[in-house]
Structure 1
Amino acid sequence: MAQRRAPFGDRVRYWFDSTLARGAAALVGWMALLCLAVVVPASAVLVWTDPDVPASLTGRLARVWHLTGQTLRLGGATGTPLQVLVSVLLALVTLVYVSTLVGLITTALTERLTALRRGRSTVLEQGHAVVLGWSEQVFTVVGELVAANANQRRAAVAVLADRDKTLMEEALSTKVGATGRTRLICRSGPTTDPTVLPLTSPATAGVVVVLPHDQPEADAEVVKTLLALRAALAGQETRPPVVAAVRDDRYLLAARLAAGPSGVVLESDTVTARLIVQATRRPGLSLVHRELLDFAGDEFYLIGEPALTGRPFGEALLAYPTSSVVGLVRGGTPLLNPPPTTTVAPGDLLVVITRDDDTAVLGDCADSVEEAAMATGPPTPTRAERVLLLGWNRRAPLIVDQLRRRARPGSAVDVVADPGEATARQVSEADADGGTGLSVTLHHGDTTRPETLRRLDVHSYDSVIVLGRDPLPGQSPDEPDNRTLVTLLLLRQLEEATGRELPVVTELVDDRNRPLAPIAPGADVIISGKLIGLLMAQISQNRHLAAVFEELFSGGGTSVRMKPATDYVRPGSETAFATVVAAARQRGECVIGYRSHRHASISPAYGVRINPPKHERRHWTAEDEVVVIGDD
């Protein structure tokens, strides 16, 4: 049987492909023949249809050659064959020169554009912020830096990470949004290479923020980045302040040594555990933390006030109509909520919560205080508590330790986790300091199965903490949140079945999953990465606040608390906020706001009001809460 012949079109394409495979010479030759095949006939048509050309065949052929030469830039000279040949040779030399020049310029521009797309050019800025590393925290940090620079005419944030520059720019543009006057600059390269770090000009930066990535070896990567930064800045007279974070306290000392004396290194897991425990004891406290840490509302400032020098600290509490005084900084050491009789010494800085650094204006608010509206009874006593811990991860032992530090005798923690998540040995190690009034009991079970939660008397607990498991190597970072959302869905079903609301504190990894969580609108959700990102952004703008936040979010001592409003004012009374401040002063506390029970389910604040004006009057109910900074 005869073979079927290939179609003509396929044979032409094959012939063309074979011609291209022979190299540039064959391609140039065929291009020349193709051009001649088009230009010569077209020129002949123009000549033969032009009444002004010579009538002789020789004259017309010379005219055709002249048009062809002009079209193909071959000179088109006529005369003896030698003249024509020299004309063509000169034209070819000119063509090669111009083509080579254009090719060199095009290649140079292409290489430059490629280098820009790869993010390999050096940033030439002064006083800019440098962010090293890439994780979910980068969007929070960059977004807060943009908000902090909103009132500056020229600001820049340079991000260096071992990722594609275009992908970083697209991700930041999508999640951060409009940046106003702040320019975002992305550079691509490993943050642990001292020869790459100069791309961001850290020597002229105002601050350098080192972010941990989401891999198990994140802390080692942070230490290497800090060492690379130190090597890159070797020989510099001045170095920018550095803010970094590690998860494991085993790397804390090494990171601080690498960061140098001007560096601040946070323990992200420890801070997260402390915030979870604080929110466990008083639902809604996470909303206060978020309000205090972001740049959108009121925030912490350090100000000097010579007019208050020599006067008792208690007088400063009512000395600012639109700002809340919470402590002093003396010799670099923060004194949060000192005794009201403490004298403000020369050189002391006041720690205030205010809208901006120029809104702390003196003004006596004592006239707004109504002593008749103050509560006279003792404060609400604390009692033993029962906590249900659903899930287990690397922060769970820290959470148990923080619960133990403030446990009342008879307190208990029941842990429910898969055998693969928590073993009896792990729980016993977390409970190694027994005898402090807190008992820890492990129950094995899958928290994503309805029968596991139904066996528990969930409503008998004072609070429920939901933790996601640590992601396994190669597992999606979303896996912990996926299981957490399922557990929350089952708890929500129990709430609807019984008609009773559960005091749930949830830890999520990705802030995008917050709207998906099936919980009450004002419930406590701790986005560990987001909170640490907010904290790093605050310290990057004022490194002296690091000691303030360390004291504020410590495991014991002075911290942010929410207490019943009835401890300060008579229920049902209508009085100014200054009355609450004066009542708290008598108890040795600093009031910074309140939470309205009536607005507790209304977004975005969910009833939380931080730093209201002292003259603001409102009706105080027995269900309202007051936000204070004080001791346990």
Structure 2
Amino acid sequence: MLPFRIIDRIKFIVERQLVKGAGFQLLVVGVFIGLISLIGGLLVVPQGGAFDDIGSAIWWAFLRLTDPGYLGDDVGTWQRFVSTLLTISGYVVFMGTLVAILTRWLIAKMADLERGLTPVTLKNHIVVLGWTSQTLPLLSELLSSSGRVRRFLEKHDAQTLNLVVLSEHASAGQVHELRNEPGIRGKARQVILRSGLAIQPDALNRVACLDAAAVIVPSAAHEAGTLVTSDVETVKALLSIAAQARHFGAPLPFVVAEIQDIRKHPVIERAYPGAVEVVGGDATISRLMVQNILHPGLSEIYNELLTAGEGNEIYVRGGESIAGMTLGELAAQRPLAIVLGILKPKGNSWDVRLMAPSDTPIEMADRVIMLARDYSETEANLKLPSLPTITHGGAGRYLRKTADRPRTILVLGWNRRVPSLIAEFGSYAGQMFNVDIVSVVPAAERERDITRYLQDRQEVTCRHIEADYMVEDELRKVNPADYDAVILLSSDRLASGEEADARAMVGYLQLEDLLAESPHRPQLIMELSDPDNRHLLSGHQSEMMISPMILSHVLAQVALRRELRVVLDELFTAGGAEIQFRDPRDYPLPASVDFHLLERILSERGELALGVFRHGADVDGRRLELNPPRKCFLDLQPDDQLVVLANT
């Protein structure tokens, strides 16, 4: 047994050297080459003649081992036999093993480079911590916001917008996704991928987090019931950034963080002592859904204002270049934009004054809120004639009509957003809602989650139905046609957004078949999780909300213009200014009216005209005409509605 133990010991020693990496592997190969050369030299030394000493013989053996071209120079049977063995050994050890080691080392190095483990040497860039369903639309938003990006680069004295994404496992597949994403494609070279987690100091250093102009922390998806939620990950990421800044004595970067539970807002501010803007993901989508139920058709406005593409957006302009003017004078000189209001400094925050009086003076520290198709339309253009000034004394007060009965809402599906949705229903005083929730999730679990989130919900009555809406007989028993509105939710309990959306879309098509049998059709709102599915049901009658695209737009625009967050909160929460629909017959409109005259008539009631919502869709399926040309005659048809901004 002793010889075998010695062999095992030698094999173990060789193994421990080989696993240390390419350097030690090359050292072992070099030792083997030396041993083979020594043995080959000792075998031919007794022949004498051609070798003056042992060194010459070893050199002879080394040359045969490394270069088979010397094989024909040998004389004598023994030399030829030894040189043949050396040449064969050279092919195995010198050529085969050496090339294999170098090839494996090169492949490993290339894989490391593809994984993104090299620290970036950038400053004033934008860092996105996490690769989620929102990352691609978020990057697309950042790369397509030309006007805001230009001002962002000027502010930070940068030439090019560089985006660095920290992904748990950066790969060539993600690069392929970047190149195929609409809005990125050829701009993918501006996006740099790095591997790691936001809670790892080395990973934060890898993306040069402390040198960034802005850091965006989108919310990640987690399985239902897990103790480590997306909000926990967000707080840990912010604590890691703050700890790294303390370690290096560096200033904290500006952070835009998304959280699901808006109640954790104070926790975020305690975790991160630097400049931070918090976007409530669940709260934002819940607000939009409830407002869309109160004002059916509002989703088309949200999809224009809060997603990338053609159409209007909300812009915030600094008061430096327009100080001394009034809001009315500014509106007259910007014929392609609509002035929505003004932001006044208030401590470390802003006082949002939507529909402020037209004689409000603009000061250097103020910010003006405007609606336009492009940032250039918010700038002065001497080629465009000024409009007649419209004088209004500020926002009037619109009393929301109290329904004679509670609104009935049917929710198909369940996800973490439902408790926030119930809380948003309850925030509208004077409005009563009866909400029936259909899901395969046990009713006790759903009731527990809602109770934890919302203790008092007097305005909302919830009824839980345990059923699978994908089964036609179970859905038919619920009688969807008896409700005022039906909401189809994308589940967060499935493996991917594609699977969740597939379930929601199949459920929608099945719901359409049932509603076709009834004379009454409720309002349909469908939530999707995968932006790639946005065109699949574009020809159907439901109102569609793609949560990742909306939240990505908000995160991107707030990162480029911080003040935009308070504007969106004011615009999309209960109370204050809201986007609403009005019947044209409620106003003294002439038979033929252009948009500028409509603005003047609505201003007399303290309202702001934004556009027209047509009863019939155009050839592209669009019904919304937001911010039309001032001199364009609206040609209002029966059942058309006016889009206005009014206080409630």
Band of TM-score, shorter chain: 0.7 to 0.9
Structure 1 residue aligned with 2:469? 447
Against the structure 1 CA distance between its residues 179 and 408, is the aligned structure 2 distance closer, same or farther, given a 3 Å change threshold?
farther
CA distances 1:74-118 after superposition (whole Å, capped 9, x unpaired): 39779999x999x99xx99x9999999989986765454232122
Matched, 1:147 2:183: no
Q: Residue 187 of structure 1 aligns to a residue in which SS?
A: strand
Against the structure 1 CA distance between its residues 212 and 381, is the aligned structure 2 distance closer, same or farther, given a 3 Å change threshold?
closer
Structure 2 residue aligned with 1:613? 629
Structure 2 residue aligned with 1:185? 192
Kept in 2: contact 1:283–1:523 (CA 8 A): no
Q: Name the aligned partner's letter for residue 637 of structure 2.
A: T
Structure 1 residue aligned with 2:68? 72
Q: Name the aligned partner's letter for residue 636 of structure 2.
A: W
Q: Residue 575 of structure 1 aligns to a residue in which SS?
A: coil
Q: Name the aligned partner's letter for residue 272 of structure 1.
A: I
Q: Residue 358 of structure 1 aligns to a residue in which SS?
A: helix
Matched, 1:413 2:410: no
Q: Name the aligned partner's letter for residue 260 of structure 1.
A: P
2: distance between equivalents of 1:194 and 1:219? 19
CA distances 1:404-441 after superposition (whole Å, capped 9, x unpaired): 332545x33231424734348456777853555x5444
Matched, 1:397 2:419: yes
Structure 2 residue aligned with 1:12? none
- Note the C-alpha offset of 1:292: 1.3
Kept in 1: contact 2:114–2:171 (CA 8 A): yes
- Note the C-alpha offset of 1:218: 1.6
Q: Name the aligned partner's letter for residue 421 of structure 2.
A: I
Q: How does 1:70-109 map to 2 (within 5 A)?
A: 72-74=68-70, 109=106
2: distance between equivalents of 1:591 and 1:307? 26
Against the structure 1 CA distance between its residues 596 and 365, is the aligned structure 2 distance closer, same or farther, given a 3 Å change threshold?
farther
Kept in 2: contact 1:314–1:339 (CA 8 A): no
Matched, 1:510 2:536: no
1: distance between equivalents of 2:479 and 2:582? 27
Against the structure 1 CA distance between its residues 549 and 538, is the aligned structure 2 distance closer, same or farther, given a 3 Å change threshold?
same
Q: How does 1:77-476 map to 2 (within 5 A)?
A: 109-148=106-145, 154-176=160-182, 177-180=184-187, 183-216=190-223, 217-234=229-246, 235-297=248-310, 298-304=312-318, 313-314=327-328, 316-331=330-345, 332-340=349-357, 343-347=360-364, 348-362=366-380, 366-367=387-388, 381=401, 383-384=403-404, 386-391=407-412, 392-406=414-428, 408=430, 411-418=432-439, 420-423=441-444, 425-426=447-448, 432-433=455-456, 435-436=458-459, 439-456=461-478, 458-471=480-493, 475=495
Q: Residue 424 of structure 2 aligns to a residue in which SS?
A: helix
Against the structure 1 CA distance between its residues 149 and 166, is the aligned structure 2 distance closer, same or farther, given a 3 Å change threshold?
farther
Matched, 1:488 2:488: no
Against the structure 1 CA distance between its residues 202 and 432, is the aligned structure 2 distance closer, same or farther, given a 3 Å change threshold?
closer
1: distance between equivalents of 2:400 and 2:454? 29
1: distance between equivalents of 2:240 and 2:320? 43
Q: Name the aligned partner's letter for residue 416 of structure 2.
A: R
Against the structure 1 CA distance between its residues 570 and 495, is the aligned structure 2 distance closer, same or farther, given a 3 Å change threshold?
farther
- Note the C-alpha offset of 1:215: 0.9
Against the structure 1 CA distance between its residues 277 and 141, is the aligned structure 2 distance closer, same or farther, given a 3 Å change threshold?
same
Kept in 2: contact 1:264–1:543 (CA 8 A): yes
2: distance between equivalents of 1:211 and 1:69? 60
**Aligned pair partner of 1:598 in 616, 620, 625:** 616
Kept in 2: contact 1:592–1:629 (CA 8 A): yes
1: distance between equivalents of 2:200 and 2:628? 48
Matched, 1:628 2:644: yes
- Note the C-alpha offset of 1:262: 1.1
1: distance between equivalents of 2:523 and 2:100? 70
2: distance between equivalents of 1:218 and 1:594? 40
- Note the C-alpha offset of 1:623: 1.9
**Aligned pair partner of 1:561 in 563, 571, 580:** 580
| TM score, norm. by length of structure 2 | 0.74
1: distance between equivalents of 2:169 and 2:65? 53
Against the structure 1 CA distance between its residues 434 and 195, is the aligned structure 2 distance closer, same or farther, given a 3 Å change threshold?
closer
1: distance between equivalents of 2:198 and 2:105? 28
Structure 1 residue aligned with 2:10? none
Structure 1 residue aligned with 2:547? 528
Kept in 2: contact 1:390–1:466 (CA 8 A): yes
Kept in 1: contact 2:129–2:198 (CA 8 A): yes
Against the structure 1 CA distance between its residues 194 and 69, is the aligned structure 2 distance closer, same or farther, given a 3 Å change threshold?
closer
Against the structure 1 CA distance between its residues 213 and 439, is the aligned structure 2 distance closer, same or farther, given a 3 Å change threshold?
closer
2: distance between equivalents of 1:380 and 1:239? 44
Q: Residue 169 of structure 1 aligns to a residue in which SS?
A: helix
Against the structure 1 CA distance between its residues 155 and 313, is the aligned structure 2 distance closer, same or farther, given a 3 Å change threshold?
closer
Q: Name the aligned partner's letter for residue 197 of structure 2.
A: P
1: distance between equivalents of 2:163 and 2:97? 40
Structure 2 residue aligned with 1:5? none
2: distance between equivalents of 1:556 and 1:226? 32
Runs of 5+ unmatched residues, structure 2: 1-27, 38-63, 151-158, 224-228, 391-397
Once superposed, what is the RMSD of the aligned Cα atoms?
A: 4.3
Against the structure 1 CA distance between its residues 565 and 238, is the aligned structure 2 distance closer, same or farther, given a 3 Å change threshold?
farther
Kept in 1: contact 2:352–2:566 (CA 8 A): no
Kept in 2: contact 1:192–1:228 (CA 8 A): yes
Q: Name the aligned partner's letter for residue 361 of structure 2.
A: V
Kept in 2: contact 1:154–1:182 (CA 8 A): no
Q: Name the aligned partner's letter for residue 141 of structure 1.
A: L
Q: Residue 512 of structure 2 aligns to a residue in which SS?
A: helix
2: distance between equivalents of 1:309 and 1:118? 50
Kept in 2: contact 1:310–1:343 (CA 8 A): no
2: distance between equivalents of 1:280 and 1:552? 16
| TM score, norm. by length of structure 1 | 0.75
The share of aligned pairs that are identical, in percent, is 25
Q: Name the aligned partner's letter for residue 560 of structure 2.
A: Q
2: distance between equivalents of 1:73 and 1:318? 89
Structure 2 residue aligned with 1:48? none
